Amino acid sequence: MRTDVLQAITICLHGNAYLADPSADRVSELLGSNSLFKCVFELAFERQPQGGRMMIPLGNSVAPWLRRLKTEDVRQLRLYLAKLAFPGDKVPDGEWGIVTDGNVGTELWEPLWKSRLVRYDEPSSWKVTYSAHRFLRWTIAEPPTGDFVFGTLERDWKDLHAHALQLGQVETADQCDRMLHLHLAESSTLPSHQDLLPPTLADHSLILTSSCVRAIMTVLSPSVAYSLKHRNATEFTLAARQLWRTALTGLECISYQERWAKAS
């Protein structure tokens, strides 16, 4: 599971709920309370100044970092996920993370996860550092509308389901069918990490975000990973790639606009 990606989504959505309220003087701390941070033993946000080499620490938890961004007139966090590698590809991720734009300029905050040695019977433990560097704002294309993404997800789920049936991968087909049913029912249910989504999200944003997160979790699931290894899985792999890419685009869309209007 890409906990690093899900954590960045959580920070972005919860952070936007705080930044969108000009009168808010308090922000809830995610470290120690949100499920996406349970495996984190140390968290840091740091910035590389223009022309400098030494990184400047800006906070050791989410709340002080968000307060700092607010003083710098950052009004919105945006997800940049376009260069995330498809699961199973033998290539590393490109640059990705959270984009901010304020008085300091446009920056990309990239997460770096370093594991801590633990005993064999202990859960994984990580030090996570979000490091900022200057970023060209026009690198991010304006995303499509939420309506377009919602309709594309439906098509992608159906394609993946059909190709799973062609492969005879019944478990994967059943999983796709369940996810398609939740999508068409406009459900906000998640298989895990229900606290990933802030309660302040507009209804349609909540529905679209949930569908995108379910799509990511499905592509990363053991049953899909098994189906991708099938020797005749070319069409299935293409369908899974398309679902993965649509989900990432949808999450960028949600972070770009506070709400989207469902087509009548």
* Tokens (6 digits) for 62: 């989410």
Q: pLDDT digit string (tens) for 207-238?
A: 999 999 999 999 999 999 999 999 899 999 99
For the stretch 128-141, pLDDT in tens is 999 999 888 878 77
Please check whether residues 115 and 163 belong to one and the same domain: no
pLDDT in the model for residue 262: 41
CA torsion through residues 174, 176, 179, 183, sign = negative
Q: Which candidate, 138, 110, 142, 143, places its Cα nearest to that of 247? A: 143
Position 36 scores a pLDDT of 93
Strand stretches in the chain, DSSP E: 40-47, 56-59, 77-80, 97-102, 105-115, 126-134
Q: Per-residue pLDDT tens for 150-189?
A: 999 999 999 999 999 999 999 999 999 999 999 999 999 9
Residue 92, phi then psi, degrees to nearest 5: -75, 165
pLDDT averaged over every residue in the chain: 89
Which of 213, 244, 231, 264 lies closest to 85 in space, CA to CA?
244
CATH number at residue 167: 1.20.120
Residue 76 lies in a domain: yes
pTM: 0.91
Residues 98 and 196 occupy one common structural domain: no
Whether 151 is in a domain gets the answer yes
Q: What is the mean pLDDT of residues 136-147?
A: 83
- Among 114, 139, 164, where does a domain finish? 139
What are the structure tokens assigned to 196, written together?
Answer: 């990933």
Write out the DSSP string of 75-131.
Answer: --EEEE-TTPPPTT-SS---S-EEEEEETTEEEEEEEEEEE----TTS---EEEEEE
Q: What is the mean pLDDT of residues 80-103?
A: 93
pLDDT of res. 27:
77
pLDDT one-digit tens code per residue, 83-92: 999 998 989 9
Same domain, 124 and 49: yes
